[in-house]
Structure formats: C-alpha cells, structure tokens
Structure 1
Amino acid sequence: MEETQGSIIKTKKEENSELFKKLTKRNEQYMMSLNKALVERNVSEAKKEEVFNDMLHNLVERQKSGETARQLYGTVTECANQLVAKPEPSQEGPSENWKIALDGGLMIGGLFSLITGLSGLFNNVEGSSTLGIITTLLNFIVGGLVILWISKNMPDRKNPKKGGMFRYILISTIGMLSLMVVMTGSMMVVPSFINIPLNAVGNIIVGILAFVAKYFAKRKLNIRGGLF
C-alpha cells in the first residue's frame, strides 16, 4: 500500500514538474510562493502534489486567455489557508472506534456525574444522590461502549441495508437500559469501602472535568462520528 502511494506521488511530482515549465513567469512565481506557504503549514507531500496537479493543469489551460493564478485562486495566503482548511483524505468519514467510544464515554460519564451532583446539592439530603468511584468509572467505560454501539447502528439513508429506524431505536433502548443496569448493579453489589461514594461537589467536579476533557479531545483528536 505504501509502495503504491509512493508511486502515485512520484508520478504526480514528475507530471507537475513538466507542467511547471509551461507556466508564465508570473504564475511560476505564484506557485513557488504557494509551495513555500504550504511547507510552512506542514501540508503533506501527497496532498501538496495532488493539489498542485489540479492547479497546474488549470493554470496551463487558463493562462492562454491571459488569466493569472492570482485571479483564479486569490492571494497566496488566501489560497494556502483555503487548502489547509480542507480535510486530508484520511480525515474523512467517522473516526476510529476508540475515539468515538472515548468521546461518548466522556459525555455519558460526565452527564451522569453532573446530574447526580446537582441533584444531591439541591436536595440537601445526605446520601440522597451519590455515585461511587467504581460506579463512576463504569459509567465512563460502559457509556463509551454503548455510544459506540448506537452510533454504528444509526440509520443511513444512502444505505438502507444498514438498518432502519426501528433497529436504531431498539439498540438505543437496549444500550441505555444496559448502562442503567450496570450503574445500579454496581452500587448494589460492589461494597461501599471499595465503591467509595463521592459527595455532591465531587460528582459535579468530575462532571465538569469530563466535559472539558471531551471538548479538548474532540478538537485535538478530530473526533468524527458518534452521537454528540
């Protein structure tokens, strides 16, 4: 696979070199400046050669009627920024399963912790709403797996064979019920000296930290897909 990719890049590069020789001086200077700008922005060699191939073919044809690269693509900075904003081929479609599970787990675990903490804080009844450490951890883990399972079974209008709305609702219901069983069961089965209860403030802090972690993880890992 890597050899094939390398061969494609090499072919594009050779073709681009020949096309480059056909450019006017003004367009040649534009492409040289654009190449420098893309290198500074850490654009991959594969993407750069692919983009240049399309641009060079277009420029060689359009410059015959007097059009310049600046007229077609704007300033070098504008063109570079626009190209960088476009996702790499590998960044299209849903993310890996573990990323979707991570995003969903942080959402579900944080939501349960936050709701439980706020409920306990406003009820002012000792022990009325608490989650133990083990239960909280299971919420994050099982919640992530449930969200991954649900997201993988979302209806797809372009591919009806993937499953319909009824299947999606059924799986969503089973998934959330399973999460509730795990949460309730852990509080009943796991001893309190292991499943140490968190007070209302502790639950709220865990919930807030989970949402903050979700925000940064989604941006840093470019998580796509999932439910949230």
Structure 2
Amino acid sequence: MEEVQGNTTQAKKEENNALLQKLTKRNEQYMLSLNKALVEKNMSEAKKEEIFNDMLHNLVERQKAGETARQLYGTVTECANHLVAKPEQSQVGPSKNWKIALDGGLMIGGLFSLITGLSGLFSSVEEASSSLGLITTLLNFIMGGLVILLIAKNMPDRKNPKKGGMVRYILVSTTGMLALMFVMTGSMMVIPAAVNVPINAIGNIVIGILAFVAKYFAKRKLNIRGGLF
C-alpha cells in the first residue's frame, strides 16, 4: 500500500513540475513560495502534491483570463494557513463574492467616514454641515463593496497581460469610483437632512475606526481571499 501511495505521489509530483513550467513568472513564484511555507508547516509530501495538482490545473486555466494566484488564493501566508488549518480541503480559491464585497465595503466605507470625520474636526460650522449623513454613509459601505468586488474581478496579471485586460481594468476601476462619488454626492444633495441625518465629526471617526476593526476580524474569521486589501 505504501509503495502504491509513493508511486502516486511521485506521479503527481512529476505532473506538477510540468504544470509549473506553464505558469507565468508571477504565478510560478507564488507556488514556489507556497511550497516553502507548507514545508515549514510540516505538511506531508503526499498531501502537498495532491493540493498543488488541483491548484496548478486551476491556475494554468485561469491565468489565460489574466487572473493571478494572489487573486485566486490570497497571499501566500493566507493560503498556507488555510490549507494547514483545514487539510481535508484540497480545493482553495477566492472567497465568495459577498465576502470580497464585505471586505471592500468595510475598507471604503470606513475610509470615507474616517477622512470626513478628521476633516470635520478642523472645519468651520458651515463646512461641517455638509458632512456625511447616515444614509450616505450606508450607501458608501454598500457601493464601496460592489466597486471593490468589480475591480478585484477585473484585475489583470501585469506580468502576463491579456489583450484588452488592462484597458478593461482601467475602465472598470474608473467607472466604479465615479459611480461611487456620484452616489455619495447625489445622496447628499437629493435626500433631505430629516432622513439623511448628518453625522458629526466624532461620529464619523468612530464609524471609520469600527469599520477597520470589523474588517480586520472579518478577514481573519471568514478567511477572505481574493480582494484588493
């Protein structure tokens, strides 16, 4: 039995070496770094080669569309920790869309709130009156998540650019951010203050800090992979 398993592992290893040669330099370096990380974590050779076989087949196919290992599996550290924590799962990849959107929404919404709050501390009463409202803040979190999700899904591999990939990425990123700004400014102008209740500077700062804290714990708890941050 051990001999059969050894032969199977060797066959997988040879296939994996062949697949590795088909990767872009960026993806190849990712897999080599992941291999080193898993060796340091004492993962068995048989299990490692089995996991790599699935990952390499997926990478060879997905890189044709400009996707990178970093986009698909997160950072090397995140991927290694995920594989070691749940060794029974040989399939890893980007998190579900809602998780990526949640991570991005907390980042963008928190950033806008924090910047607005800090600016409000040094603004006059008239300028402070134009601060973010409650509805606008909620829309920032929602729209921010959707925009980051779209950008993450369209990010090309710069080491192996697909024709039109970079143009599409720039268009999606620009359009997404413009849409976010349009929704933010539009909601402030259209929605009455009685509904879009203004949030003072301290309130915005607190919301921003809480959003970053929530992002930190959500990323760890949900093992979010494939986002921008």
Please, what TM-score do these two structures have when normalized by structure 1? 0.61
Task: Mark the CA change 1:214 to 1:163 in structure 2 (over 3 Å): closer, same or farther.
Answer: farther
Residue among 40, 46, 51 paired with 2:47: 51
Aligned to 2:122, the other structure's residue is in SS state helix
Task: Spell out, residue by residue over 1:104-142, the C-alpha distance to the aligned partner (whole angstroms, 9 max, x if none).
Answer: 000000000000000001224352551100000000001
Aligned to 1:224, the other structure's residue is in SS state coil
Query: Mapping of 1:94-133 within 5 angstroms?
Result: 94-126=94-126, 127-133=128-134
Structure with bigger RCO (C-alpha 8 Å, 6+ apart): 2
Task: Mark the CA change 1:163 to 1:220 in structure 2 (over 3 Å): closer, same or farther.
Answer: farther
User: Post-superposition shift, 1:222?
Assistant: 0.6
Q: Unpaired segments of 5 or more residues in structure 2?
A: 6-42, 51-80
User: Post-superposition shift, 1:170?
Assistant: 1.5
Alpha carbons 1:132, 1:198 under 8 Å: kept = yes
Q: Specify the alignment match of 1:190 in structure 2.
A: 191
Task: Mark the CA change 1:163 to 1:155 in structure 2 (over 3 Å): closer, same or farther.
Answer: farther
Report the Cα distance in structure 1 between the residues aligned to 2:216 and 2:135, rounded to whole angstroms.
24
Structure showing greater radius of gyration is: 1
Q: Specify the alignment match of 2:69 in structure 1.
A: none
Report the Cα distance in structure 2 between the residues aligned to 1:125 and 1:110, rounded to whole angstroms.
23
Q: Specify the alignment match of 1:227 in structure 2.
A: 228
Alpha carbons 2:113, 2:207 under 8 Å: kept = yes
Report the Cα distance in structure 2 between the residues aligned to 1:53 and 1:151, rounded to whole angstroms.
28
Alpha carbons 1:155, 1:163 under 8 Å: kept = no
Q: Specify the alignment match of 1:217 in structure 2.
A: 218
Aligned to 2:125, the other structure's residue is in SS state coil
Report the Cα distance in structure 2 between the residues aligned to 1:169 and 1:53, rounded to whole angstroms.
37
User: Post-superposition shift, 1:94?
Assistant: 1.3
Task: Mark the CA change 1:158 to 1:89 in structure 2 (over 3 Å): closer, same or farther.
Answer: farther
Report the Cα distance in structure 1 between the residues aligned to 2:140 and 2:193, rounded to whole angstroms.
17
User: Match for 1:199: what amino acid?
Assistant: N
Between the two proteins, the alignment pairs up a number of residues equal to: 160
Report the Cα distance in structure 2 between the residues aligned to 1:122 and 1:154, rounded to whole angstroms.
37
User: Post-superposition shift, 1:158?
Assistant: 7.4
| Identical-residue share of aligned pairs (%) | 76
Report the Cα distance in structure 2 between the residues aligned to 1:162 and 1:137, rounded to whole angstroms.
37
Please, what TM-score do these two structures have when normalized by structure 2? 0.61
Report the Cα distance in structure 1 between the residues aligned to 2:190 and 2:158, rounded to whole angstroms.
43
User: Post-superposition shift, 1:194?
Assistant: 0.6
Aligned to 1:169, the other structure's residue is in SS state helix
Report the Cα distance in structure 2 between the residues aligned to 1:52 and 1:199, rounded to whole angstroms.
53
